Structure 1
Amino acid sequence: MRYWLLSLCLLCGLARAELPETDWLELMPEEDRQALEAMPEISHDTPEQDSGFYSPGGLRQQDADLPAVMYSSKTVPGLDGKQLRLGGYPVPLETDNSGRSTLFFLVPYPGACIHVPPPPPNQLVLVRYPKGLAIDDIYTPLWVSGQLKVEPVSNDLADAAYALDAADVRVVTEDDL
């Protein structure tokens, strides 16, 4: 009886264990990663930093001087259907009646909706989370776990190359660091 209880406790502990973190660069094919690494550093000096102005282009802003990798929708087919955990920042799209975000883009860095350039589509993930999450601040990092899909998504704000049906979304805590 004792061994059975110990085994059950171990299984319960494993069931609660989080998936290993997936790095954002793993969402890019190798050729895109190489092109990104070869790029010169991009300046984020934009008018909104001086005036407080929010650019209406959002995640769709484009700069003709940037290389094609900054607009790449190329994906990694082996990630389709994979369960993973990704850390990032929310860009809310839809909320439920309680004001909880049920649909949002997850982006790799905070403020992606106001910086030029925005992340490429293969660095944007549309997150569907029917349970909803209260998002008080888009600068609060999140952990999102669930099944990733190679699924092109386009709306007025952005294009994304991936979508994720989230099983769990939570705020990153100091214990995670």
Structure 2
Amino acid sequence: MKDTHKLLAAFVACILLGVGIGLIYVKYQNTLAQWFLPKPHVYETSDSALASRLETNRPVDVQWSQLLPANEKSVLEKYQQKQASTPTEFADNILLSLEATSDDDYSAAMVSTNSVDTFDNQSVSIAGFIVPIDYNKDKSLSNIFIVPYFGACLHFPPPPPNQIIFSQLGQGFSDFEITQAYRLNGVLRRGLFEDPLGTSAYILDVVSIEPYYEDPDDFRQH
């Protein structure tokens, strides 16, 4: 009888352990992927001087919120919508959206080209999604926008210009999936680039690109 109880206890423990591991995996699968999956470079510049600059100056990890001027970040944060699960919360989000449309500071922040000089002309590493602008004759990407969340500029209104980065790739980039996030390493500088898809307030001279498996956006709530 005791052996039966031990077997039953062991069986229950195994089930609970399996459930626990499953829950951890579901919650942290992107983080685990970022830690353990291979991240080979899918693009590398042919500009040896630019590549040498990153070898000499270790890139600083940059978050998207760090590219916003403090006053504009504060205004945008004010109207961040929370995940709604009840009718009251949905109603609160609707009221928040209506309030935002009548706030001149919010409207200005949404189209602001103001930038920060913290990382100007510095070696940086930033994760985001790639939005194609132009293609080469071989269908590889030549000019791109880098944005903090999937669908920006394509399926949704573009982010503010100071949340968009433009890059002109030195050579084609064909190993590309639009739903995949990437980490881009290079030299960041302030500068405007305008296109029908959107306007960017920053330019990145890209040295390398690699897959990224976590959520790049540290600012918006999705």
Structure-2-length-normalised TM-score? 0.56
Runs of 4 or more consecutive aligned structure 1 residues displaced over 6 Å after TM superposition: none
Q: 1:58-95 deviations in whole A, cap 9, x for unaligned?
A: xxxxxx92722111111002322011011000110122
Deviation of residue 118 (structure 1)? 2.1
Match of 1:50 in 2: none
C-alpha spacing 1:22/1:39, structure 2 compared with 1 (3 Å)? same
CA distance in 1, matches of 2:115, 2:158: 17
Q: Contact 1:101 / 1:135 at 8 angstroms: preserved in 2?
A: no
Count the aligned residue pairs: 141
CA distance in 2, matches of 1:140, 1:40: 25
Structure-1-length-normalised TM-score? 0.69
Q: Contact 1:133 / 1:169 at 8 angstroms: preserved in 2?
A: no
Deviation of residue 131 (structure 1)? 2.6
Larger relative helix fraction: 2
Unaligned runs of 5+ in 1: 1-13, 44-63
CA distance in 2, matches of 1:134, 1:21: 25
Q: 5 Å matches for 1:1-177?
A: 15=55, 19-41=59-81, 65=101, 67=106, 68-172=108-212
SS at match of 1:148: strand
CA distance in 2, matches of 1:118, 1:142: 18
Work out the percentage of aligned pairs sharing the same amino acid: 28
CA distance in 2, matches of 1:110, 1:128: 20
Which structure has the bigger radius of gyration? Answer: 2
